Chain A
Amino acid sequence: MKLSSFLQAAAIFRKDFLVGLRRRAAFAAMAMFALTTIASLSLALGGAFVEPKLLAALLWVVIFFAASAGISGTFEDEAAAGTLSTLKLYAARQAILFGKMFFTLASLGALTIFLLPVFLILFDAEIARLGIFSATVLLGLVGISAAGTLTAALTVSASAKGGLFPILLFPVTLPIFLPAISLTEAAFTGAEFSAEFLAAMIFYDAILVTAASILFDFLD
């Protein structure tokens, strides 16, 4: 990405942050979905012990569906307001993609920081390996952000975008969840973790970001 495109992406990130702060709708949707899911599961289990592997899977299920509730609006809100055409006229394609991708990553990061303490308290869990946990969450969120931003751009002109978005996003993000769940389980239990899983996440994230960058230029 050229320097001018990087500066454009930074401007788009700042603009999305400002608009997001004032509208708050997308973040509220993600946060409420996450809180409702965590609270419902916690109440249903009634304080019973949950296997670390299941706990790890639950965390990623919550993150995935909360992300689905918020990311789809990345382009949809701009298209509905009529500003997407203006943005395309004034900014480079790659700047739009990466500006939106960084904003999605920041939103998901904030969401995770917000929901994680609630999750750990309600499920009486603790993180034994903070380093591997942080790396896993970061890599997982990068993958979801890259796939989610591209999918949001793909579905923006579809008539049934609400249903189409999670259907398209799920198979693309599935390869992230398999190693992420295993690594998160290791972070909960303090057991040895597989470096291959970490490498696989880095590799798949790189593929997703590259593919998003290449494919975005072909979207109208």
Chain B
Amino acid sequence: MNKIYLESVSLSFGHRELFKNLTLEFPAGKTFGVVGANGSGKSTLLKLAAKILKPDAGEVKFHGAKTVAAVTPELKIYDTLTAAENLNFFAQLRGKAVDVSEIGRRVGLDFETELRAGDFSTGMRQRLKFAILLGVDADIWILDEPTSNLDGTGREIFLREIRGGARGGKIILLATNDAADLEVCDEVIELPAGGGDF
């Protein structure tokens, strides 16, 4: 079974010890919610699990799972490209052929538009990021505040696709400050304020 395994992971920023000997397992087919106060390390835990960030000690291992896709505030899309060009570009990077109109229908975004992503509203950009995540069809989904800036319909679409992703065998990590997002989570990890042992 595909899974992510964090083994005795420690990470500090300067003198601040965020994680100490942290051991966690994230098996496929489940959605894990990560909650905690601002600065507790929610986004950092997701980056460690996705191997975007390296721990000071310990190891992060992917068993079976190979590819990562993410919707996070830091990861931007190309403002000078249209929605379809953005989606096709990232899908090509992963060697996937995408049905642009089918993904557009799923996330509620018009991919026929000639508008460039730079002219999109924040909510439309968020939908486009999610469309890219669906298009690249990765084994691991990293979702950091994915429903922020979304309207009610957008939020429903996200939560529906997250449920579908888990059913499809994805490993899904979802960091959120919104308790309503946790309804799609199978397990919730609560990080203590200020980091350290947990």
Q: A86 vs B75: C-alpha distance in the bound complex, in angstroms? A: 5
Q: A22 — which chain B residues lie within 8 A by C-beta?
A: 80
Query: Which A1-49 residues have C-beta < 8 A from chain B?
Result: 4, 7-8, 11-12, 14-15, 18-19, 22-23
B95 at the interface (CB under 8 A from A): yes
B69, B70, B76, B92: which contacts A83 (Cβ < 8 A)? B76
CA distance A91 to B91 in the complex (A): 10
What's the minimum C-beta distance from A96 to chain B, rounded to whole angstroms? 10
Report Cα–Cα, A85/B95, bound state, in Å: 19
Is B74 a contact of A90 with CB atoms below 8 Å? no
Contact count A vs B, C-beta below 8 Å:
52
Q: Is B62 an interface residue (CB 8 A)?
A: no
A188 to chain B, nearest CB (A): 40
A90–B89 alpha-carbon span in the complex (Å): 10
Question: What is the interface size of chain A, counting residues whose CB is below 8 A from a CB of the partner?
Answer: 20
A219 at the interface (CB under 8 A from B): no
Question: Is there an interface contact between A86 and B136, defined as CB atoms closer than 8 Å?
Answer: no
- At the interface, yes or no: A171 with Cβ under 8 Å from chain B? no
- Closest CB in chain A relative to B129 CB, distance in Å: 9
A214 at the interface (CB under 8 A from B): no
> Main SS of chain B's interface residues?
loop
- 1/0 per residue B93-133: CB within 8 Å of A? 11100000000000000000000000000000000000000
A residues less than 8 Å from B85 (CB atoms)? 15, 18
CA A83 to CA B78, docked complex, whole Å: 7
Chain A residue nearest in CB terms to B70 = A89
Decide if B79 is an interface residue (CB 8 Å cutoff). Answer: yes
* Pair A82/B74 contact, Cβ less than 8 Å: yes
Taking CB atoms and an 8 Å cut-off, the chain A residues in 99-116 that contact chain B are none
Contact B81 A15 (CB under 8 A): yes
Are B81 and A18 closer than 8 Å at their CB atoms? Answer: yes
Closest to A95 in B: B93
Chain B, range 23-75, C-beta contacts under 8 Å to A = 50, 52, 68-70, 74-75
Measured CB to CB, the residues of B under 8 A from A are 50, 52, 68-70, 74-81, 85, 89-90, 92-95, 136
A-B contact list, 17 entries, CB within 8 Å = A4-B95, A7-B92, A7-B95, A8-B92, A11-B89, A14-B89, A15-B85, A18-B81, A18-B85, A23-B80, A81-B78, A82-B74, A85-B74, A85-B76, A86-B77, A89-B69, A89-B75
